[in-house]
A and B are shown apart, each in its own frame.
Chain A
């Protein structure tokens, strides 16, 4: 993948979250920007803003009047999709359409419905751990974390689990391949649409008990969903849960691999894992969202122009010392934790209950499987690029 912009010269005036240094050194970048700005700007992507404080990120998340969700992934060109539906409803939708589009999907992702998936997720995690064999070197991202969400969402959508590599390819193209030529990006979207259209046709011919058939039978404002709506919602369900959860699992395991005290404490007292998971979500939140400016507006002293991108770095808000005590420390028993890992307001992550379940089960099973584990001595962690942050290469030395 060839970057069209090149290395960053200054994080306050020329930031680029798709350059490898951003995710690899995110906490340093945010700390620098909190002191210097706190809203960074770049001319890249035809103009984008990056607020880094909890206060400003929260304000924008709640402000659907000045900021549209028409597209939530920053790229060099502006999306053709129009408000209020956007190209992946409901994440790309604005009020009032958003409310009805989201309501269609909420029941399938409510906590009680999601809880029924625990057995499948646990069996998947156990199988992946068995497949890692008896060796002392493993890659917790490549052999474990990346497989969990992709298999679960394939089962939920009724897509072939053998196509997992194809799904990860889509995630890479759409979410990481952002500073590429527009034609290259358009081709990636076309490949994705073609694949989903095939799956939809297959489901029309052979309906079954899964989310794809559910969407095909769903209606909005007393009308069946349009083909574009069905496809867009499938794009959302397929892509939004994969590298996000994979990143959260990877970051949590990276923390445990580098903090022996926390690792032992959780292994000895698994009842603390849900509390620890919330702290991992705070400290290593994987997801940064984006908005487009609806019309020229001054925000926090910044002259934002119509169609400027605005990034919503929930991970930066989560480590703002103005909002959290001991914000830069990871306290696995932190009792009070109003973190924003799943966003705020009407676009709260639809899949948050599923993500939490996958993360909890993945960490529980990993801790239970290995007697001990730590980062490999010469192991180099490699981070993702772009709005989703997590380790993609995570070499560990393990004992059985």
Chain B
């Protein structure tokens, strides 16, 4: 499982970082940053889904097969 982040949409609500700090970090401006290129560590799929479902800007999504490197 891998997530992708649309930085044009991210406005720094920081919901992803609060809910899934193993998958998301934030930069000095408070904007989201993907850890490990968005690859979700095994067992944290629910946290990834939660981060996707709580982003008010719809900035996070699951990588499609085409985008998924892993």
Contacts and interface: CB of A to CB of B under 8 A. Distances in A.
Contact of A107 (B28, B57, B58): B28
A106 B29 contact: yes
B26 A342 contact: no
A175 B18 CA distance: 31
A346 B13 CA distance: 11
A274 interface: yes
A300 interface: no
Interface in A317-349: 335-340, 342, 344-346, 348
A277 to B, nearest CB: 10
A338 B53 contact: yes
B16 to A, nearest CB: 11
Contact of A353 (B14, B28, B57): B14
Given A106-B29, A107-B28, A352 B53 contact: no
Interface residues of chain A: helix, strand, loop or mixed (majority):
helix
Contact of B28 (A110, A337, A345): A110
Interface residues of B, number: 18
B56 A346 contact: no
B30 A345 contact: no
Interface residues of A, number: 22
Contact of B30 (A110, A336, A340): A110
Contact of B12 (A106, A274, A344): A106
Interface string B5-42: 00000011110011000000011111000000000000
Interface centre among A338, A340, A342, A346 (most CB of B within 10 A): A338
Contact of B14 (A107, A111, A344): A111
Contacts of A340: 56
Nearest to B9: A345
14 contacts: A106-B12, A110-B26, A110-B29, A274-B18, A337-B54, A338-B53, A338-B54, A338-B55, A339-B56, A344-B11, A344-B56, A344-B57, A345-B57, A352-B13
Contacts of A106: 12, 28-30
Nearest to B25: A112
Given A106-B30, A111-B30, A340-B56, A345 B50 contact: no
A103 interface: yes
A111 B27 CA distance: 9
A335 B56 contact: no
A299 interface: no
Interface string B38-70: 000000000000100111111000000000000
A276 B19 CA distance: 13
A342 B17 CA distance: 16
Nearest to A348: B11
